[in-house]
């Protein structure tokens, strides 16, 4: 991992996570048809909770995914804190996650649950195309609560 890019990667991870939890809207099929909520089941609570990971050189990071599609990312030492929104498409494999950071941009990434308490997130830059696969730069987050 390129440690000089850690703040950028961390911001990208947060942006992606925020975007993924928003409920998917179905597009209207023709003029006059209302836009309706998707009939696809959503696993709203799958990401909800507090997640952390440790990085030897920079310390750790805490990410809180709210059930209200809000995300907060902070350094475990309190050195920074950012808040945004997220939406996840659980009907995709891998799961698509978009995080919107106000005044910073949007991070689009992919995630997968290793189990209920382990989450792999692919790092990505803000406002770039979504990665298509998991690389050696992806991060493993552990559920704290």
Q: What is the per-residue pLDDT across 13-71, written as a single tens digit (0 to 9) for each?
A: 444 433 333 333 333 333 444 433 444 445 556 899 999 987 766 678 899 999 999 99
For the chain, what are the domain ranges? 3-22+45-143
Mean pLDDT on 75-98: 93
Mean pLDDT on 73-80: 88
pLDDT at 140: 92
Is the domain spanning 3-22+45-143 CATH 2.40.128.520? The answer is: no
Give residue 79's pLDDT band: very low, low, confident or very high (50, 70, 90). Answer: confident
**3 state SS for the chain:** CCHHHHHHHHHHHHHHHHHCCCCCECCCCCCCCCCCECCCCCCCCCCCEEEEEEECCCEEEEEEECCCCEEEEEECCCCCEEEEEEEEECCCCCEEEEEEECCCEEEEEEEEEEECCEEEECCCCCCCCCCCCCCCCCEEEEECC
pLDDT at 145: 81
């Amino acid at each position: 991992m390129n440690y000089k890019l850690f703040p950028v990667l961390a911001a990208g991870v947060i942006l992606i996570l925020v975007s993924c939890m928003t409920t998917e809207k179905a597009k209207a099929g023709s003029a006059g048809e209302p836009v309706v909520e998707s009939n696809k089941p959503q696993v709203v609570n799958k990401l909800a909770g507090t997640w952390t990971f440790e990085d030897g050189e920079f310390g750790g990071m805490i990410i809180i995914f709210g059930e209200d599609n809000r995300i907060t990312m902070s350094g475990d030492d309190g050195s920074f804190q950012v808040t945004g929104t997220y939406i996840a498409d659980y009907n995709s494999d891998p799961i698509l996650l978009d995080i919107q950071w106000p005044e910073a941009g949007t991070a689009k990434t992919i995630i997968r649950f290793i189990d209920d308490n382990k989450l792999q997130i692919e790092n990505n830059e803000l406002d770039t195309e979504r990665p298509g696969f998991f690389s050696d730069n992806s991060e493993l987050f552990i559920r704290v609560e």
